[in-house]
Amino acid sequence: MYSLFTALDSSYSVYMDYNVDKDIRKAKTLPSSIYKDTRIFKKVISSFKNQWLFATHTSSFTNNNVIPLHYLEQILNESMILTKNDESYSCLSNICTHRGMLICDEACSTSVLRCGYHGRTFSLDGHFSNMPEFEGVKDFPSSDDNLKSFPLKDWKGLLFTGLNVSDFENYVSYLDYKLSWMPIEKFSENQSSYRSYDVNANWALYVDNYLEGFHIPFVHTDLHDTLDYDEYRTELFDNGVLQIGIARENESHFVLPSSSPDYGLKVAAYYFWLFPNIMLNFYPWGLSVNIVVPISADKTKIVYYGYVWNKDLLHKGAGADLDKVEAEDQDIVEKVQRGIQSEIYVSGRYSPTKETGVHHFHRLLSSSLSNK
Q: Return the number of the residue (128 or 283) whose C-beta is nearest ligand FES.
A: 128
Which one of the spans 116-124, 247-255, 343-351, 353-361 is the region binding ligand FES (CB under 6 A)? 116-124
Q: Provide, rounded to whole angstroms, the least separation between the CB of residue 111 and ligand FES.
A: 18
Dihedral Cα 314, 318, 320, 325, nearest 10 deg: -150
**Length of the chain, please?**
372
From residue 117 to residue 146, the character string flagging contacts with ligand FES as x (rule: CB under 6 A) and all else as - is xxxx--------------------------
Q: How far is the CB of 77 from Fe ion (least distance, A)?
A: 30
Q: Residues touching ligand FES: how many (CB under 6 A)?
A: 9
Whole-number minimum distance, CB 271 to Fe ion, in Å?
A: 10
Name the residue nearer to ligand FES (CB basis): 122 or 187.
122
Q: Looking at 42, 99, 311, 349, which residue binds ligand FES (CB under 6 A)?
A: 99
H helices of 10-91, in order, are: 38-46, 70-76
Which region among 97-105, 244-252, 309-317, 323-331 touches ligand FES (by CB under 6 A)?
97-105
In whole angstroms, how far apart are CA 147 and each of 80, 100, 134?
Answer: 10, 11, 18
Query: CB-wise, 92 or 333, nearer to ligand FES?
Result: 92
If you count DSSP H runs as helices and E runs as strands, how many of each does the chain have, helices first?
9, 19
* Closest separation in Å from C-beta 329 to Fe ion: 4
**Binding test (CB under 6 A) with ligand FES, winner from 45, 92, 96, 364:** 96
Q: Alpha-carbon distance 295 to 211, whole Å?
A: 20
Q: Is 112 in the site for ligand FES (CB under 6 A)?
A: no
Binding mask 226-255 for ligand FES (x = CB under 6 A): ------------------------------
Selected binder of ligand FES within 98, 127, 215, 354 (CB under 6 A):
98
Write down the least CB distance from residue 24 to Fe ion, Å. Answer: 20
Check: CB of residue 310 under 8 Å from CB of residue 286.
yes
What amino acid is encoded at 237 in this protein? F
Dist. CA 167–CA 46, nearest whole Å: 19
Identity (one letter) of the amino acid at 55? A
**Using CA atoms, how far apart are residues 68 and 70, in angstroms rounded to an integer?**
6
- In the bound state with ligand FES, the residue whose beta carbon lies nearer, of 103 and 318, is 103
Furthest C-alpha separation in the chain: 76
Nearest distance from C-beta of residue 132 to ligand FES, angstroms: 8
Contacted by 329, from Fe ion, ligand FES, none: CB < 5 to 8 Å by type: Fe ion
Element (H, E) at 143: none
Q: Minimal distance in Å, beta carbon 74 to ligand FES?
A: 22
Piece of 79-87, 96-104, 230-238, 299-307 that binds ligand FES (CB under 6 A): 96-104
Give me the least distance between CB of 220 and Fe ion, in Å please: 6
The entry of ligand FES, Fe ion, none near residue 242 (CB within 5 to 8 angstroms by kind) is: none
Under 8 Å between Cβ of 27 and 349: yes
Show the CA angle centred on residue 348, arms to residues 38 and 339, nearest 5°.
Answer: 55
Q: Would you say 245 or 294 has its CB closer to Fe ion?
A: 245
We find the least distance from the C-beta atom of residue 140 to ligand FES, in angstroms, to be 13
Beta bridge partners of 300: 199, 294
Per the CB < 8 A criterion, the answer to whether 259 and 180 are in contact is: yes
Alpha helices in 211-321 (DSSP H): 216-219, 221-226
Nearer Cβ to ligand FES, position 136 or 264? 136
Q: What DSSP string runs through 108-155?
A: B--SSEE-TTT--EE-TTS-EEE-TT-TT-TT-S-GGGSPPEE-EEEE
240: phi then psi, degrees, rounded to nearest 5: 180, -170
Task: Point out which residues bind ligand FES (CB under 6 A).
Answer: 96, 98-99, 101, 115, 117-120
